[in-house]
Amino acid sequence: MDMAARFLVPLPTLMGLLIFLCVGPGAEGGKVLVVPMDGSHWLSMKEAVQELHARGHQMVVVSPELNMHIKEEDFFTLTTYASPYTQDEFNHLLLGQTYLIFERMHFLKMFLKAMESLKSAALVFQRSCEELLHNKELIRHLNASSFEVVLTDPVYPCGAVLAKYLSLPAVFFLRSIPCDLDVEGTQCPNPSSYIPRLFTMNSDHMTFLQRVKNMLYPLALKYICHISFTPYASLASELLQREVSMVDVFSFASVWLFRGEFVLDYPRPIMPNMVFSGGRNCGQRKPLSQLNGQVSK
């Protein structure tokens, strides 16, 4: 825990240091290729992109034409590629099942509908990634643009695949990846005896039965990961012309920059390239007005 606490530094300082390390000594500013995950993930990453731009780095964001939140800003250059869907199809596939959040139904029925929604959303991102990686003209342009590092969220593995394909150092900006793919990709110890697994609601002090649950529960997530990640392994294998697993792709990362706050998470082993930057989720909250502050008191 002490070792991890030493890594807990402000995000702007940390990101500047990471890019400096990736680019090399004496560099005034690097050229950074950003492959974000859409939605709230981008709202979190956008702060880092803005800070890197303020420190003199040239930021290029690659995104499909149809997206939810990735719009042109003055602190990065937006490069888009064709989407394999119309706007109506995109909205239906990605947002058509949002009503489930407010529905009350039997657990099994809810699970099946959630899986159906997940398949639809996963298909959108998978097809978008195929569109990017099969766009030979764009790939040639990116390859010739002398990027020095790729900043990406590995929950959308397309950026990780692209970094490996272009042989560029990769910095992962994330909260977590299901099915322990982050710890497998970093070869990090991950003892079930005291590290609570995702969605178990366990703490780091578990009874024997809770430890059994902690070991068995991740098996249920394997199906979700099979839906979400297996197509990217096939795509990476096709591009690299050899058999590649997602662990191979994720292990290519130079730095794993976790948005978690170590003091709020349970203690766990970390590797030297796993860094906790403090909570960076969605964006800065607006300060309370003076009236609201008085009411709170």
User: d(Cα 204, Cα 221) in Å, to the nearest integer?
Assistant: 20
Between CA 63 and CA 70 the distance in angstroms is: 7
State which H helix or E strand residue 276 sits in. Answer: strand 274-276
Sign of the torsion formed by the C-alpha atoms of 68, 69, 70 and 74 = positive
The answer to whether position 290 is within a domain reads no
Mean pLDDT of the chain: 81
297 within some domain: no
Residue 139 has pLDDT above 80, yes or no: yes
Which two tokens mark 230? 């297996």
Residue 61 lies in a domain: yes
Least Cα distance to 171 among 139, 148, 188, 140 occurs for 148
- Domain membership of residue 292 (yes or no) is no
- Please report how many Cα atoms fall inside a 13 Å half-sphere around the Cα of residue 254, on the Cβ side: 19
- Across the beta sheet with 170-174, the strand order is 77-81, 58-64, 31-35, 149-152, 170-174, 255-258, 274-276
Q: What are phi and psi of 74, to 5 degrees?
A: -80, -5
CATH of the domain at 176: 3.40.50.2000
**Mean pLDDT computed over 97-123:** 67
Q: Which residues lie across from 104 on neighbouring strands?
A: none
Identify the band that residue 105 occupies on the pLDDT scale cut at 50, 70 and 90: low
In a domain, 208, yes or no: yes
Tens-place pLDDT, residues 231-284: 899 999 999 999 999 999 999 999 999 887 767 777 888 899 998 887 666 555
In this prediction, residue 119 carries a pLDDT of 75
Domain count, the chain: 1
Indicate the pTM of the whole model.
0.80
Which pLDDT belongs to residue 216?
A: 82
**For residue 148, is it within any domain?**
yes
pLDDT at 261: 72
Can you say whether residue 241 is alpha, beta or left, with left for phi > 0 and alpha for psi between -120 and 50 degrees?
A: left
10-59 pLDDT, tens digit per residue, is 554 455 445 544 544 445 678 999 999 988 889 889 989 999 999 999 99
The residue segments making up the domain with residue 54 are: 2-285
- % of the chain with per-residue pLDDT over 90: 42
Examine the pLDDT at 103 and tell me if it is beyond 80.
Answer: no
Please write the tens of the pLDDT for every residue from 195-237.
888 777 888 888 999 888 888 877 777 777 887 888 899 999 9
Residue 291 domain-assigned (yes or no): no
201-207 — which CB contacts under 8 Å span 24+ positions? 203/266, 204/266, 204/267
What is the predicted pLDDT for the residue at 250?
Answer: 95
pLDDT at 157: 94
Name which of 95, 96, 100, 126 is nearest 113 in CA terms: 100
Residue type, 237: S
Q: Which residue has the higher pLDDT, 109 or 162?
A: 162
294 within a domain of the structure (yes/no):
no
